Every structure is written in C-alpha cells, then in structure tokens.
Structure 1
Amino acid sequence: MERIGPPLTGGERETLRAYLDFHRATLAMKCEGLGDEELRRKSSPPSALSLMGLVRHMAEVERQWFRRTMGGAEVPHVWSDEGDFQQAYEVTGASGREAFEAWEAEVAHARSVEAGAESLEVTVYVPRWEGDVSLRTVMLHMIHEYARHNGHADLLREAIDGVVGA
C-alpha cells in the first residue's frame, strides 16, 4: 500500500479519503519487512497487543463500519464466531499473510462503499450510538481509530527492531 501525504488544499471528501488512506498506509508501513514471529510479538504483559493483532483488529473495524453499518450487511466477524473484537488480538499461530489479506479485502470494500455513496451526508442508524450517523462521521471515526492505533504501532515497531519514524 503506497503512502501518499494528504493534500494541503482540497474538498472535504477528497481530504477525508486521503487522510484515511494515509493512516491505513501508515499501519502497513509499520509492519513492512517483518516476519510472522515479529508481527506476533506482544507489547508487554499482560497486554496481547501486537502489530499483527492491530492489523487483524483494523480488518474487524473496517468490516464493522463499512460492511455492517454503512452497507447493512449481516456478515460474521473475521476472527471471532462470538462477535468479540478483542479476539483479533489473539494471534498465536496466525500468519501475517492471512491478516493482511483480510485487512486489504476490507479496506478495498470500504473504499468501494465510500466511492459509491452519493455524499458525505448519507446516514445510517447506529444502535450503539442511539442515532443516525453520516458517512462523514464514519470516516472521521476511522481516521481517529487508525491514528490511535498507529501510535501503538510506532511503539511496537520500535521495540521489535528500533525502527522509528512517521
């Protein structure tokens, strides 16, 4: 996934799309060049947090917001039969290839949902939030989600091999 800096000027939708893709690419960049063992390495006990776990978690989050919420699809969770988002962090025996294939498929689907929407004003009801939510809010929420987890990814990668940087 190529990481391109968001535009300094531009329309709202273009800017939201660019920032979301920038953060998606940042997560991929933080994992670049690592093998399965390194991707599965946990941050510190008792946390189950790992780079592979973050990729798997973000596959679940992309699926939740773009397939289930915006798309209305009734699809199972990627990593859990019980609908447990935390299960994505349980990476014992998991492969990076499998994690990235699932994540990339969800990102591709999310992009198609966003591109197919008439506007950022398209809304859906979110029971957990007890209200209608716009595509704009979903995209902003995803940017927030990636930004937060990319901070975790920074620390995880540095602990693995000392690599730091944007």
Structure 2
Amino acid sequence: MTTSPRSEPSTVAGEREMLEGWLDYHRATLASKCEGLDDAQLRQLSVAPSELSLLGLVRHMAEVERGWFRNTIADEKADGIFFDDADPDGDFHTGENDTYAEAYAVWQAEIAHAREVAAPAGLDDHGAGRVSRHTGEPYNLRWVYTHMIEEYARHNGHADLIRERIDGATGE
C-alpha cells in the first residue's frame, strides 16, 4: 500500500493553513513509517511490556481522529471502532486477523470525515461535544488541531523507534 508523499508545511501560511499543514504532515509521517512492511511486521510489539505496534498506532489514531472530530467538534456520539468498555485499549490489541489494509482504510475514512467536520468551522468555534474535565470549558477547533498535532508527533516518535526495531529503517 502506498501513501501520498509528505509535504513540508508552509513557513509563511496563515494560522489555519499552518495548523492543517502540520496535521497533514504528521498524518503522512505515520503512514510513511508503515510503508513496505507486511501485516506480521506491523503487529510486532515495540518491547515488553509495551503493547505498542505500528498497526496499533494506526488504529489508535483512527480512534483519536474519531473522538476529537466526530464526538467533540460534531457531537456525533460515535462509538469506538477498535475498542469498547470490555477492552478500552482494544485499538492497541491487534490479533492475527487484523490487517493494515483494514486499519488504513478506517483511519483514512476518519481523516476524511474530520476534514468535512472542520471545513465549515472557524478556529474559535467550539463543538457541542465534550468539555474539558479540568476546566469545564468546551474545546475550540484551534485547540483540537493543536492537540492532534501533539498526539501525532508523540506517536510518530514511537513509530520511529518501532520501525527501527523491525528493520533498522530510520529517518524523518
């Protein structure tokens, strides 16, 4: 499965274009870390006792996209895809029948939906969904974009290490 090449975000863009550029860059980075590996390699865990795998990270980011854009911005109240109350970390718990093709398709569908949900909203608009458990305040789209960039950046660091452990590949 091939992915689209990563593009460096503009260095002179306005705020929204900059945020969307960095989010897309990090989405493409995670996809690039999975390229060229088979399903068995993508299910390999980083190192005990961690349950992180590249396939698990893709599934997790599908859930993160879903949670922040569907449930927080659009207030859709969508259930988890790969997890439930019985297995709250189910996105990371991959089995022999779980494939990258399936996870990638779900992830890309959630990204497409996130773009649809965000397109008509302004950066200061907040969703009707969840509020901060710390402050009780709603999340605006700017906060969600910034959090998503942080979430991808953190997990892309994990993906770098997992990929290097699998086949020695390193890089940006």
Give the alignment's Cα RMSD to 1 decimal: 1.3
The TM-score normalised by the length of structure 1 is 0.95
In the other structure, the counterpart of 1:99 is 103
Which of 149, 153, 159 is residue 147 of structure 1 equivalent to? 153
- Counting only pairs closer than 5 Å after superposition, residues 19-98 of structure 1 correspond to structure 2 as 19-82=22-85, 85-93=88-96, 94-98=98-102
Whole-Å separation in 2 of the counterparts to 1:23 and 1:106: 15
- Partners of 1:159 and 1:25 lie apart in 2 by 20
CA distance in structure 1 between the partners assigned to 2:41 and 2:171 by the alignment: 18
Q: Which residue of 16, 19, 24 corresponds with 1:13?
A: 16
Range with bigger deviation, 125-134 or 52-61: 125-134
> Cα deviations across residues 109-149 of structure 1 (Å, max 9, x unaligned)?
111111121x1010135153421211000000000000000
The aligned residue for residue 114 of structure 2 is 110
- Give 3-state SS (helix, strand or coil) of 1:89's partner: coil
Kindly indicate which of the two structures has a greater share of residues assigned to helix. 1
* Deviating 4+ runs (over 3 angstroms): none
* Structure 1 position 138 matched with structure 2 position 141: no
5+ long unaligned stretches in structure 2: none
